Structure 1
Amino acid sequence: MTSIITFRRITIGIQSRTLPSWTATYGVKRLIATSRTVFHENPLGIPRKPPASVPGRGSGAGPAPTIPRMQRGLPQKMPIKGVKHIIAVASGKGGVGKSTTSVNLALAIAGMNKRVGLLDADIFGPSIPRLMNLSGEPELTGTEDRLVPLTNLGVKCMSMGFLVGEEAPVVWRGLMVMKALQQLLHQVEWGDLDLLVIDMPPGTGDTQLTISQQIPLSGVVIVSTPQDIALIDARKGVNMFKKVNVPILGVVQNMSLHVCPNCNHESHIFGDGGAERTAKEMELDFLGDVALHSEICQLSDKGQPVVVSRPDSKHTEYYKAIASKVVAKLWPETKPPSA
């Protein structure tokens, strides 16, 4: 049997379709070196309690009452327990710096006395573990068997990357991915949060629709680079969220210009102001620019987000300015920070 997905301490074969079991080890429930059959309705293998029996019903009591089917249309949205606001950070195209923006935006808002969580919704290519310098397996709560987020820099994080090795591919079809995403949304013990930031995968597919239709999003931040090829897909992302009635908080232009690390010379290598013009054309708010600088990339690869590791830098000013605009939209009563 060819192994496809390697969870920590276990190997999962695509033919046997198995996933890890949760069990108690040294008093704490963790993943162990055993496997169990994967079911589409429980791809992460989280233990589930048996359904409660209905009082007064025996073997001869007749069929159980049926739940009325939802009227045809979109599914009902379920809030995430303890979370006040949920925003998505999205892009139509990959490689535009969406995950880096998600991390630094979350940290900047956390620095404004908000309780913030960060969910990595990219099942196939999770980036949050590396960007937040987190590794290891999430534990389970003792009572409800919910995943406990890993925390760093004051932000609670959950990602598929905590359950698989960094170089292990997740080879799943859409049904498994969507169910895993639902478990990451509703079977995680976030506690009380002012804001949950969801780092979305690129595109306008199953993940975007599932999140838009199943949880109440307060809004979405669209990230794009200035060149036309990225803006074409950014427009598609905007139009998709409009169709599912998710508010667009605004557009962030990443890599707006290149700053030479030696002389600080600025050059618009990807074009000048394309995302800002697109936002204006689509009647959206422009949230701000973030420059392309080697320091942001180097710190991100080390798991040292620039907002925290370089709090007085120009790069941090970019993210803090964007964060202030997002907070003002979510909490209109919040006064902007003094200059």
Structure 2
Amino acid sequence: MTTQRLLKLLIALAFVAASAAVWWPTQAHAVRLKEIAAVQGVRPNQLMGYGLVVGLDGTGDQTTQTPFTVQSLNAMLQQMGITVPPGAAMQLKNVAAVLVTASLPPFAQPGQAIDINVSSLGNAKSLRGGTLIATPLKGADGQIYALAQGNMVISGAGASANGSKVTVNHLSAGRIPNGATVERSVPTPWLQSSIAQLDLQSDDFNTAREVADAINKAKGNGTAEAQNGRTVAVRLPANAGERVAFMADIENLDISRATPAARVVVNARTGSIVMNQAVTIGPCAVAHGNLSVTISSTPVISQPSPMSQGQTVSEQKSDIRINQEPGALIQLPAGTKLTDVVKALNALGANPQDLLAILQAMKTAGALQAELEVI
């Protein structure tokens, strides 16, 4: 090989290496399908029930302020054949009315145990050491789906004496692991239809297309079809056992996620500002200064002269001052990366509350290429 041909080959290789980033784009971040989508109808159901916690060490509800606790106890005793005389004053210190909540997982069958949360409804000081008696848990349709009972686990602790009180964590709510037994299963459309609908966590047409393409590539063309930016329809096998294996396979498919839409999320209550990597800014100039108004009032006493039969009058003298700190005009260059945007915003030296106003003004001026969302 001659020297001239070798030189041309080296120049060509250098050109290809330099332009690799342009012609060969980097691979998008891949996630599993189960992390970005859920099967419609395969979801947990919320349960709720009203019950009583007994066995408290004098820290239960005060019956004078929570009459429903006494009514609930009387109703329970009547079911057991015990009748309380009308008008009897019941001073209950070891009983508390509680609200029991639980989440019934999908495909839960009768006999399985689920965790429950117990929260005080009245003015009980502590539920520590209490036992929840049998409490039916109902769904949104009013049917009983589980029965809860057991000893509570309270992570808090407290002590009081002579008007002083020390409390660690929360004493009026606790948890019972495996505290409820499922009595009824929730019907699901898993075996009732030949098509399953995958619901994406966010509405993105590109992600829906990637999900359908990945399923069709693994299971054959025509298996999946993107309906819109959030739902994908998937054809299921006829046999129930094959459906389980089918869903197990597609749940672990790698889906290439493109860069999400540029978005800046602002929490107006806490001042927190979060932006994703797609946020960019255009060249702009920002001047920011603080304006403060101070109003101070000083009492002034007007006293009459002697023997004038006048009255002493008290008035207020107000002093109003307006102070505006100068703000230098700072030129912000165009930022195409998140690090450039952070450096440009840090150059302003503004606190999070001032930064919120600056971002809103930049969005109005067209310099912020992102969606501004306030939560």
TM-score normalised to structure 1 length? 0.18
Q: Which structure shows the higher helix fraction?
A: 1
* Structure that is richer in strand per residue: 2
Give the structure with higher Rg (CA): 2
